[in-house]
Structure 1
Amino acid sequence: METGILLESGTNELEILEFKVGNNYYGINVAKVKEILPYTKPTPIPNSHECIEGIFMPRDLIISVIDLAKNLRLSNSDNLNSDMYIVTNFNKIHTAFHVHSVVGIHRVSWADIITPDDTISSAGSGVATGIIKLEDRLIIILDFEKIVSEISPETGLKVSDIDKLGARTRNNIPILIAEDSPLLSKLITECLVKAGYTNVTVKQNGQEAWDTIKEYHKKGSLEGEIELVITDIEMPQMDGHRLTKLIKDEPDLRHIPVVIFSSLVNDEMKRKGELLGADAQLSKPEIGQLVRAVDELVKLSN
């Protein structure tokens, strides 16, 4: 899929692909979508996870199929002839999601995406990352990374990589993290602390992080409070690309290293991050590489 929004930088906008499973409306960031294909019955795989419907092979790539209705505990399709595959690529993995219909693509601002409260998505347990009100319906943005990692845990954050780094010395450099997933922000913080970086502050999205940076800057205490920023890309209110642009466009702030740590880091998104001035960009499973990147940036700033 080719969409113009991916070529723009720091607009705080995205395109959402809306689709249906059962009678419910859901969404996925178009940046994760490789293509949309008509449903064909996949080849079953013995002893696989109950939500893995099987595999299929469009062109030269074998792709696992996740039955999204089963994963979300919804009814099966009434008419397989109208069903579709949404083929995705994130965390360096291709996955196909079996959905019941595709509605269309909408361009929206991250500021218009509502963060689910704890009644909908308690820390680490829900699969809704945001909600959009569009005309007469609510579209739920699903946490596809979480869905995949729960089915295949080895695709998630590789926390064991920290142990391979060996003995580490303590470093009190103040690091600000912008990450909307409570589970991931907890894991990233724990990994950084284990790697010796003990002065870590976490904000739930780019807007909160930017407000914090502005507050310290206004007080004249920025140097002692924030000396490196790690940001996700996909976040309600303000995404990581917009946050990066705001930091790098401000003469008094652009010296702060910004590391983009996201499941969306691919060649196209890397080009976008480079244009915005990101100092490093890493794919989310590679927590060991994140620590190495922080090591290098800290070394350069000293």
Structure 2
Amino acid sequence: MTTQHKQEILLEAGTNEMEIIEFYLGTQPFGINVQKLKEIIPFDQEAVTTIPGCGAGMLGTLLLRGNTIPLIDLKRHLTQKSSAANVDQRRVVLVCEFNNRINGFKVDGVNQIHRISWNDVQPMAGFIDQFRPRFTGSVNIDGREILIVDLEHIVTEFDPEANMDYEIDLRRDLFEEQRPHTREQMKLMMAEDSSLIRAGIERVLKSAGYTSLEVYADGQACHDRLLQLRQEVTNGSNLRDHLQLLITDIEMPKMDGLTLCKKIKSDPLLNELKVILFSSLINEQMSAKCDLVGADGYATKPQIPYLVEMIDSMLDISN
């Protein structure tokens, strides 16, 4: 991809589009959001330091320009199979950055980058989602069903401290000391496609006292509910009587969080709703996009305590 193309992508926000890089584990195609990808490098076994006892999918650490990063064998972790000899010559490492961390993921090869609409991404079926799969959805491109990998989920399986649940224990006393009844009176909505992260955020918010919370697995379902509330506002009701704040992920099937926020802020009957974008993709460039669509705030996962403080500030919650 050219630098000019990258700059053009960065200027766009709220188009409900994304770019995925298609890669292979054996013959099965998978994909991740290009926003997470820093670079692709050839796999070099000599640059890997094995760490005993890490599990079959964790190869160890990879030396990358003087720095070491965790290296996960995606094929071994997802399929419990080693890379076949006939694909060894084209194995590469996807160096990814999200949640302010850098990790390497060894794959059998890469195909190309596709620009797609989030509307074409199908969420995982409900009966599969309950088992917390390592995928957030799938998209059909030229007859190939490409599974979108939940890299955040995978990292938490190797690094418990990357799991947002640990934030609950670190700040539990603070939450219990700061549980004004006004939190319970506030009505919140959340859109998040990852079942693991969705459950984690819900537990933390409710432990903090935000017990009135509607949860949706994709941006379109959330927007549909907002349109129902909009109709009630049209009939004379006040939006604040039904909902005060929305927390949304950015990467979601059907409708991404940037598009969802843009639709809300461009609607005269919904634009007073406070919107927080809570995503592993937050960096300087993504922050600019969040500002462009009118977000009231944004935070990177897993900054749960900061998220609660931001909600308190926006809703004027005080002891």
How high is the TM-score relative to the length of structure 2?
0.89
Q: Is residue 153–residue 196 contact of structure 2 (8 Å, CA) maintained in 1? A: no
- Confirm or deny that 1:77 pairs with 2:87: no
Structure 2 SS opposite 1:213: helix
Aligned length, in residue pairs: 300
1:264 to 281, 299, 303: 281
Shift of residue 46 of structure 1?
Answer: 3.0
**Residue 165 of structure 1 corresponds to which residue in structure 2?**
174
2:57 to 38, 41, 51: 51
Alignment of 1:251-290 (within 5 A): 251-290=268-307
Q: Is residue 44–residue 55 contact of structure 1 (8 Å, CA) maintained in 2? A: yes
- Confirm or deny that 1:87 pairs with 2:95: yes
Deviation by residue 1:69-114 (Cα, 9 ceiling, x = unmatched): 1101234232422110100001111001000000000000000001
- Confirm or deny that 1:5 pairs with 2:9: yes
Q: Is residue 261–residue 284 contact of structure 1 (8 Å, CA) maintained in 2? A: yes
Mapped to 1, the partners of 2:284 and 2:191 lie a distance apart of 22
Q: Is residue 137–residue 147 contact of structure 2 (8 Å, CA) maintained in 1? A: yes
**Residue 298 of structure 1 corresponds to which residue in structure 2?**
315
**Residue 203 of structure 2 corresponds to which residue in structure 1?**
190
Q: Is residue 205–residue 236 contact of structure 1 (8 Å, CA) maintained in 2? A: yes
Alignment of 1:1-302 (within 5 A): 3=6, 4-41=8-45, 42-72=48-78, 73-78=80-85, 79-118=87-126, 121-157=128-164, 158-166=167-175, 167=177, 168-170=179-181, 171=183, 172-220=185-233, 221=237, 222-299=239-316
RMSD: 1.8
Mapped to 1, the partners of 2:33 and 2:81 lie a distance apart of 22
Mapped to 1, the partners of 2:315 and 2:131 lie a distance apart of 30
Amino acid at match of 1:153: P
Shift of residue 164 of structure 1?
Answer: 4.3
Larger helix share, 1 or 2: 2
Mapped to 1, the partners of 2:263 and 2:174 lie a distance apart of 33
Extract unaligned runs of 5+ from structure 1: none
Q: Is residue 180–residue 235 contact of structure 1 (8 Å, CA) maintained in 2? A: yes
Using the TM superposition, name which of 28-37 and 42-51 deviates more: 42-51
Q: Is residue 25–residue 138 contact of structure 1 (8 Å, CA) maintained in 2? A: yes
* Segments of 4+ moved more than 6 angstroms: none
Mapped to 2, the partners of 1:127 and 1:286 lie a distance apart of 22
Shift of residue 146 of structure 1?
Answer: 0.4
Extract unaligned runs of 5+ from structure 2: none
Q: Is residue 150–residue 194 contact of structure 2 (8 Å, CA) maintained in 1? A: no
Mapped to 1, the partners of 2:143 and 2:218 lie a distance apart of 27
Q: Is residue 67–residue 98 contact of structure 1 (8 Å, CA) maintained in 2? A: yes
Using the TM superposition, name which of 274-283 and 3-12 deviates more: 3-12
Amino acid at match of 1:156: N
Shift of residue 225 of structure 1?
Answer: 1.3
Deviation by residue 1:174-214 (Cα, 9 ceiling, x = unmatched): 10111112332222122111111111111111111111111
Q: Is residue 193–residue 252 contact of structure 2 (8 Å, CA) maintained in 1? A: yes
Mapped to 2, the partners of 1:182 and 1:113 lie a distance apart of 16
Using the TM superposition, name which of 184-193 and 125-134 deviates more: 184-193
Deviation by residue 1:244-292 (Cα, 9 ceiling, x = unmatched): 1111112222221101111111111111101111111111111111100
Q: Is residue 83–residue 98 contact of structure 1 (8 Å, CA) maintained in 2? A: yes
Using the TM superposition, name which of 209-218 and 139-148 deviates more: 209-218
Structure 2 SS opposite 1:272: helix
Mapped to 1, the partners of 2:132 and 2:202 lie a distance apart of 19
Mapped to 2, the partners of 1:122 and 1:189 lie a distance apart of 16
